[in-house]
Structure 1
């Protein structure tokens, strides 16, 4: 009979996610992970495999966490503009005061060119985000809330690119005022 785990897998996975998010993949050592997660090295390997496998699981954890927060905000929005404004505010203001940018954008710039698994995962997630935005814009255009001057798919691509830029600037400690001005400029495009 095997020993039961002495830790909550989701709790320690969240700790690993936060460490990768804050430090990046390369700067995070197995010793860092063991210490930050509060588990024994053997337990880490038994539960999550190697560092790369743990990193991929941490990315999945991050994706679900952020996706659930954004979907909840969109569901509570009464208009397309409120939904898009929520996404900008959520990204700019940070998740629980974590001003580390975005784990996915950080990982894309650090690893995507040399790690096919990371690249494919990030591409899939970015496409899903673009689709969510395109649907919001399309709905706003159909109800007359947004202008039809621009194609909804093009606007979702511009939105995604704007979010990436904001996330990178967050990592560099750009002022929130500046980032909100960028978000406001995008929102203005929806009415032109």
Structure 2
């Protein structure tokens, strides 16, 4: 008779996610995973699959977390431009506070060139994040708070791609003030 799992699936997944986030996919060994999750190998393989399967589950978990973060920031404000600013500032603030690059960005540079499954997962997640940003942008354009005639889709892609630049600058300088000035500049440019 199979044994019941005596651990919280999501809690252990988040431990693995944080390990991949810290070390990267290639530098993380199965031994590291066993140590971080405090599970034996057979439990990991039975529950999450091999290292690659586990990583994809972690990446999916992270994508859900980011989508929820954007959605919550959007819901916190009613007006389009305020909601958009809230999303941008919330994402940048968390990145600087956590002092970690977005797991998605790290994955893009580390394994996406050779890993089509990770690429597809990130593209799917990106569409969800873009849709949330586009909703706020369209509302801000309708309200007259964004004067640009540039499409909401282009503006949303520009915002999403700017996040990795903010992290790069912070990683090099450790200067939060400069990053927040860059955020202010981005928001001013969007409003024009």
TM over 0.5: yes
Contact 1:100–1:170, Cα closer than 8 Å, also in 2:
no
Who is 1:18 aligned against? 18
Contact 1:137–1:152, Cα closer than 8 Å, also in 2:
yes
TM-aligned CA deviation for residue 86 of structure 1: 2.0
TM-aligned CA deviation for residue 170 of structure 1: 4.6
Q: How does 1:91-170 map to 2 (within 5 A)?
A: 91-94=91-94, 97-170=97-170
> How many residues end up aligned between the 2 structures?
192
Seen in structure 2, the aligned counterparts of structure 1 residues 96 and 191 have a Cα distance that, compared at 3 Å, is closer
TM-aligned CA deviation for residue 122 of structure 1: 1.1
Does 2:89 correspond to 1:80?
no
d(CA) in 2 for partners of 1:38, 1:177: 39
d(CA) in 2 for partners of 1:177, 1:21: 25
Contact 1:92–1:176, Cα closer than 8 Å, also in 2:
no
Q: 16-25 or 171-180: which moved more?
A: 171-180
Unaligned runs of 5+ in 1: none
Contact 2:81–2:139, Cα closer than 8 Å, also in 1:
no
Q: 23-32 or 68-77: which moved more?
A: 68-77
The alignment's TM-score, normalised by the length of structure 1, stands at 0.91
The alignment's TM-score, normalised by the length of structure 2, stands at 0.91
Q: 103-112 or 125-134: which moved more?
A: 125-134
TM-aligned CA deviation for residue 183 of structure 1: 1.3
TM-aligned CA deviation for residue 96 of structure 1: 10
Contact 1:14–1:58, Cα closer than 8 Å, also in 2:
yes
Q: Deviations over 1:81-140 (max 9, x none)?
A: 322222222222226942211000100010110101111111222222222212211111
TM-aligned CA deviation for residue 55 of structure 1: 0.2
TM-aligned CA deviation for residue 77 of structure 1: 1.0
Q: 132-141 or 26-35: which moved more?
A: 132-141
The ranges of structure 1 where at least 4 consecutive aligned residues each deviate by more than 3 angstroms after the TM superposition are 167-174
Q: How does 1:1-40 map to 2 (within 5 A)?
A: 1-40=1-40
